[in-house]
Amino acid sequence: MIQKKDDKQIQHQFHVRQNRQIIAIAIALFLVLLSAVLYKRPLFFGELSKGKLYGMQIAAIAAFLGFTVVNWKCPSCDKSLGSNINKRVCGKCGARLH
Ligand SMILES: [Zn+2]
């Protein structure tokens, strides 16, 4: 049987991951919005083709999803925490996260 990490350690780990996840969401949103704004202002950024902006959006979303897979896991059982950023209890192992 796997040694259970103590609750404080799990909650601390979860907060670190939660903060990183919020920052990642902010960066991803910023990049997607930025490319959307650039997309509507081709006069100011004529050198950026629409294909490149589209690629930038895809890259931002892909990087975000990749980061989420690595970061957004339960500190106790390493299973994905799903889409709820304010999760209180891990649905997989029942560890208290808050
Ligand atoms: Zn868990």
CA of 35 to the centre of ligand 1 (A): 36
Contact 74, 92 (CB under 8 A): yes
Report pTM: 0.81
Those residues whose beta carbon sits under 5 angstroms from the ion ligand 1 are 74, 76-77, 90, 92-93, 95
Helix (H) or strand (E) holding 14: helix 7-40
What is the average per-residue pLDDT within 36-51?
72
Please give the pLDDT value at position 48: 67
What is the average per-residue pLDDT within 51-72?
92
CA of 8 to the centre of ligand 1 (A): 14
Which phi and psi angles does 73 have, rounded to 5°? -130, 155
